[in-house]
A and B are shown apart, each in its own frame.
Chain A
Amino acid sequence: MFEIAATDPSTVVLSGRFDASQAEKAEAVLDNVSGHTTLDCRKLDYISSAGIGVILATYKRLDESGATLSMTHVNQHVRQVFHYAGLDKIIALSGD
């Protein structure tokens, strides 16, 4: 079960399992964020390359407008996936 919701204008909460079947659901939310944005990942258990792709596209779109995208409460699995993607040096990740 994957859930994604904007809890305020600058924060989006992700939870559950962000696999390829959930990419469109995530895009529907993330395509509408603007300005400095934080992804709260405290309940995000799992992410695959499809999820990484959605987040990378959002990061690039915000970056082009001068805004930032950061991720908080990132667990070890999600951090490892971002590391293998070479994105942990680009997108600000913080743990618990």
Chain B
Amino acid sequence: MEQHFAKVVESLASVGEFVAQFAAESRLSTELTQQFQLAIEEVFVNYVRHNRESSYDITVQLSVDENIVRACLIDRDVERYDPTTRPAVDTGRPIADRRPGGLGVHFIKEMMDDFIYEYDNRTCRITLIKHLGTANV
């Protein structure tokens, strides 16, 4: 399944509906669906906030095969910015030292099995992969 979304955070509700439709058709578990909802939102928001130089729609591709679920988000005509290399968030820090923000990439790394960044010809492609156990489908 593939769909294009305007590059604004107001698209997130529509993105969520698209992911829910895919998950229902693919019979994904509730837990896995919510993990993909979250990881996809975090990548989408990352594109909106860091790749401001273009206004092309963001493409979201979803697929499941051979017990592997993939989500691919594509952002066109942008500079290189690789969120997979961001340093890990120390979630054990005292509350006084905690600052809002920076958790999105951390969530993706916790919830997905693979988090892949590719950049070519000014096009950014981030792929999220989850390997399924039989309990997930």
Contact = CB atoms under 8 A, between A and B. Distances in A.
A binds B: yes
Interface of A: 1, 17, 19-21, 46, 48-50, 52-54, 56-57, 59-60, 63, 76-77, 80-81, 84-87, 90
Nearest to B40: A48
Nearest to A16: B13
A19 B16 contact: yes
Given A20-B9, A20-B12, A56-B98, A77 B104 contact: no
**Chain B interface size range:** 20 to 34
B95 A52 contact: no
A49 B96 CA distance: 18
Contacts of B93: 86
Contacts of A50: 45
Contact of A85 (B34, B41, B91): B91
A77 B32 CA distance: 10
A53 B45 CA distance: 14
B3 to A, nearest CB: 17
Q: Which of A49, A52, A81: most chain B CB closer than 10 A?
A: A49
Interface string B88-110: 00011101101011011011001
A81 B107 contact: yes
A21 B100 contact: no
Given A20-B9, A48-B107, 4 more contacts: A20-B45, A21-B12, A84-B110, A85-B107
Given A46-B37, A56-B98, A21 B10 contact: yes
A84 B66 CA distance: 28
A50 B74 CA distance: 21
Nearest to A45: B34
Contact of B92 (A19, A49, A80, A86): A86
Contacts of B45: 20, 48, 50
Contacts of B41: 19-20, 48
**Residue from A19, A59, A80 whose CB has the most chain B CB atoms within 10 Å:** A19
